[in-house]
Amino acid sequence: MTDTWKYKGPIFDAHSHIGNIEDIDKLVEIGNSLGITTRIGIVHTKEGFEAAREHYPEGIVFAKYLSLGDIAQYNIQPIIDEISKLKDEGYSLAKTWFGPRWRDYYESVPGGFRLDDVRLEPIFQTLEDEDVPIITHVADPDTYYASHYQDSKKYGFKDDHLKQLENVLVRHPRVKFQIPHFGSQPEIHRLSNLSRWLDTFPNVYIDTASSRWMARELSKDTKKSRDFMMRYQDRVLFGTDVSSNETSRINYNGRVKAQRILWDTDVKNTPLPFTDPDTKDSGGTFINGLDLPLTVLRKLYWANGNRIYMT
């Protein structure tokens, strides 16, 4: 399948999720058929992690999920311990997730919880001291705030969520941050703020996980999106957000195909190869390709991930 695209080399998937071992075999097998030879695997079960390490000693860079329940309570000591032993356990980086709906999953999250609360500072300091990169997800698509998160008292506002992360970035110029989903800012009106972040914080990288979010938003102004990718070509990592628990060939193919159309081609108005729940009642999601040069595609799909995590 890779020979139909402009870039034909190996792919580093900087954002995938691994659960049980039976599913991991499938993830690796389907990934390989799509050219994905190496991946960051965000670990969801201990058993899956141990088995994956044994079966795939190469090809998976493991990310450890830090305990959100503890973070929510500003209970930092267990987190610091987790970070300190993470490399010995075989992990290379850490992961946290603060999608606004984490308040649905952790009812104990205090109402005024903030990521930039000084009580959490020792966590970021430990990442810095131990030289552990972190994938940290904050905010969500604008579309979610307009639909699922209308209760802003409970969920908060997107600009504020981004600001909280920015305050952390200001304090920690030596921690490597991978901010997924284009820093949660692929919406065209947000690209200027994302540019500002990348200009201000050389330790920040973004990934392209969530094919439908990237395709939907970046297709809306191909000139601006392409200019952005050209300018920050060393800072963007390809990612699928594929989860081993829900891996089917159709799902995986669709996600990769959508991004290959977006990055590799110049086609116009191509329907997303799967349903986008955010636009299914308003006409659907269509992709306009950015037709990136091969030199940039090579960085996006391979060289950036390899440089940051494999050397």
Q: Which is nearer to Zn ion, 96 or 126 (CB)?
A: 96
* Minimum CB distance to Zn ion, residue 58 (Å): 22
Q: Which residue is nearest to Zn ion (CB)?
A: 241
Closer by beta carbon to Zn ion, 74 or else 274 = 274
In the structure encoding, which two tokens stand for residue 287, read together? Answer: 């992709």
Which of residues 140 and 241 has its CB atom nearest to Zn ion in the complex? 241
Contacts of 164 (CB under 8 A, 6+ apart): 114, 115, 116, 138
Closer residue to Zn ion in complex, CB, 68/76: 68
Q: Specify the amino acid at residue 18.
A: I
Q: Which two tokens stand for residue 50?
A: 């141990």
CB of 116 to Zn ion, least distance (A): 22
**Any idea what the Cα angle at residue 287 is, between residues 285 and 289, rounded to 5°?**
170
202, exposed or middle or buried, with CB in 10 Å at 0-12, 13-18, 19+?
exposed
Nearer to Zn ion, 115 or 135 (CB): 135
- Tell the smallest beta-carbon distance from residue 241 to Zn ion (Å): 4
State in angstroms the smallest separation of the CB of 224 from Zn ion.
25
Distance in angstroms (rounded) separating the CA atoms of residues 206 and 236: 5
Q: Least separation, in Å, of the C-beta of 269 and Zn ion?
A: 28
Q: What is the sign of the dihedral through the CA atoms of 107, 113, 115 and 117? A: negative
Query: Rounded to whole angstroms, how far apart are CA atoms 157 and 86?
Result: 33
Residues that bind Zn ion (CB under 5 A): 241
Structure-token pair, residue 157: 């506002």
